[in-house]
Amino acid sequence: MAYDYVIVTDSTANLPEDMIEKYELEILSLNYYIDGEEHKGYIKGEKTDMAPFYSMMRQKKEITTSLVTVGDAMDLLENIVKEGKDYIYIGFSSGLSGTFQAVSLVTDSLSQKYPERKLYAVDSLAAALGEGLLVKYVIDNRENGMSVSENADWVVNHRNNICHWFTVDDLFFLKRGGRVSATTAIVGTALSIKPVLHVDDNGHLIPMENARGRKKSLDALVKHMKESVVEPDGQSVYISHGDCLKDAEYVAGKVKEAFNVGEVVVRMLDPVIASHSGPGTVALFFYGKQK
């Protein structure tokens, strides 16, 4: 289908390949490094076997990440413009990565070079499938005839309705990333305390509460959905997991028991996000009153 404008997002949005192909999305890849060797977070048309990655994480291998480069962003985005198309870029939260800033600079440059085009870079203030869920709404808006400028305004007005609630099973990875202190990690591990976190209105990762044991932490995700979801009937709900499908399916089941939602999409976390949260992460994303 010939769309009036292109929707662009990051590999961290964790969208399935069939969705990317169907709606002709363009993806900017963040990178990750295992023992210094570079890997792309997304390669068009390729499906990455995630089992070796999560195995290395469980071995506590050193894994680092990097943002989208200005060069990669310029190559992809200028190609869109040269084809005579406008675009809207929905970027990984500026509160968690410098990627949005880099792509925003590229968009500003292209807007000056091609003043006839309508080019938008919008900070999702979201992460993982929270970013992906926001992109899903942007796709729906385009399908319903919304213009690129109207869609950009819609994202700014609604991005803080995309609620993110998640928990982790191993505090080591949050400690390594500086999200919790070493003392908190040691005590939490000894007492089987599982943090429940969310992404706030500024796109930052914020610990909200602690649960004693895995099941209680998973139940807490659904509890927060009950407290803040808006019009759940028929709503799309996204769930990410760090190689712990059974736990993700448990949360999905609880959501379906509590609400008459539409699709519940369960996806394994991409390597860039997973490297910071670790195996055993479960995250729940939905449209609510406020993050």
Instruction: Provide the pLDDT confidence category of residue 35 given band limits of 50, 70 and 90.
Output: confident
Q: Which residues pair with 34 in a beta bridge?
A: 37, 63
Under a CB-based contact definition with an 8 Å cutoff, are residues 7 and 122 in contact? no
In this predicted model, which residue has the larger pLDDT, 188 or 107?
107
Domains of the chain are 5-160 (3.40.50.10170), 161-287 (3.30.1180.10)
How far the first Cα of the chain sits from its last, in Å, is 34
Query: Cα separation of 23 and 39, whole Å?
Result: 26
Q: How far is CA 286 from CA 30, 32, 224, 227, 240, in A?
A: 24, 27, 10, 12, 12
Q: Where are the alpha helices (DSSP H) in the chain?
A: 17-22, 51-58, 70-82, 99-113, 128-143, 148-158, 172-176, 182-190, 214-228, 245-258, 271-277
Question: How far, in whole angstroms, is CA 18 from its chain's centroid?
Answer: 17
- Answer whether residue 44 shows pLDDT above 70: yes
The answer, as to whether pTM is greater than 0.75, is yes
Tens digits of residue pLDDT in 143-186: 999 999 999 999 999 999 999 999 988 766 565 555 555 555 44
In this predicted model, which residue has the larger pLDDT, 21 or 193?
21
